[in-house]
Structure 1
């Protein structure tokens, strides 16, 4: 398992990613504004289930890749570092506007919000690709890759639940802070953190 310093880097990278509104957060905010925080929290519960399944797929898939082609693992990690830098640049180029949430504008039952969250995360295939590029950077090849991936994925889920939950609670009570300027600031801070983290990971790998 990675040491404490690397784990803290992972936690900070998770926070930088989670805090920026994407398709899932947009739905959570839209439902919370319309139907209250509970609707957004049920969306989060559904996304957590979807994330758990994705992480399980990645964990055992990564174990198979390392077992068969362990020598390419370092290259996988470097590609992941480049992907983090790319995401950071995209955040800097964003205009700070929340995307239109075409789903979730109508009222649903609480179970309906749950399953909506589940299907929204799975409707975004980039999520699984993202995990495949992000989490392996923090996996120690000589350890158990499946176990490490499950632990790291669990950490990401906790950070994601907290971050998304704050959006749901804030939007359910007042959406006045969700201005374009505030979102733009969040994107720039998170983008800078991801670019810096990606560069650090790439250079540390070459050292």
Structure 2
């Protein structure tokens, strides 16, 4: 099974990724500012549904890769470690700016509408599935069942993501005053540093 130290590294990396606003968080914040936290929570529910499908697809795909050619999986892991470092560098280079809700042209929707908006936003981002394909394999133990491990790790990511997104939705629904560029910039730097460190640690671990 998954080593405890590796699992905690995974949790830390998930938190670092989730806390930085991306396309889905931007939509959640925009809708929460305009229509209240409930709209943002429905976005989150749709996003979680989309993530569950992605993780299911990835789980069976990884199992096939491990079964057919184990050494290919090693290269996937090394590539993923490099990708974590790349994400960390990109976070450091970000300017901390959230999209302006007034420029997003979000409109009033039914609660079901917000749900499906969240679902389609996550699936319309091609980087999402690519990210999972590079991120989760870092923490898979080849000797174990890749599908089961992927589902477990994916579930942990979903929980952390739901909590992080929920905080944004709740805060934006009540007051968006704390969502300043300087605050987001600080979050990006802290998260970027954590991801770079995690990527380097994982790369060195794979070589050992």
**TM-score when scaled to structure 2?**
0.97
Residue 104 of structure 1: CA displacement? 6.3
Q: What does residue 70 of structure 1 align with? A: 70
Q: What does residue 9 of structure 2 align with? A: 9
The answer to whether residue 178 in structure 2 is matched with residue 180 in structure 1 is no
Q: Does structure 2 retain, via aligned residues, the 8 Å contact 1:31–1:104?
A: no
Q: Separation in 2 of the partners of 1:104 and 1:121?
A: 18
The answer to whether residue 36 in structure 2 is matched with residue 36 in structure 1 is yes
Q: Residues 159 and 165 of structure 1: is their aligned pair in 2 closer, same or farther, counting only changes over 3 Å?
A: same
Moved more, 4-13 or 130-139: 4-13
Q: Separation in 1 of the partners of 2:76 and 2:55?
A: 17
Matching of residues 1-207 of structure 1 within 5 Å: 1-100=1-100, 105-207=106-208
Q: Separation in 1 of the partners of 2:73 and 2:124?
A: 28
Output the aligned Cα RMSD: 1.0
How many pairs does the alignment contain? 207
Q: Residues 61 and 100 of structure 1: is their aligned pair in 2 closer, same or farther, counting only changes over 3 Å?
A: farther
Gaps of at least 5 residues in structure 2 are none
Q: Separation in 1 of the partners of 2:192 and 2:68?
A: 34
Q: Residues 104 and 47 of structure 1: is their aligned pair in 2 closer, same or farther, counting only changes over 3 Å?
A: farther
Runs of 4+ aligned residues of structure 1 deviating over 3 Å after TM superposition are 100-104
Q: Residues 104 and 19 of structure 1: is their aligned pair in 2 closer, same or farther, counting only changes over 3 Å?
A: farther
Gaps of at least 5 residues in structure 1 are none
Residue 5 of structure 1: CA displacement? 1.4
Moved more, 161-170 or 63-72: 63-72
Q: Separation in 1 of the partners of 2:145 and 2:105?
A: 40
Residue 6 of structure 1: CA displacement? 1.0
Q: Separation in 2 of the partners of 1:22 and 1:104?
A: 17
Structure 1 counterpart SS, 2:112:
helix
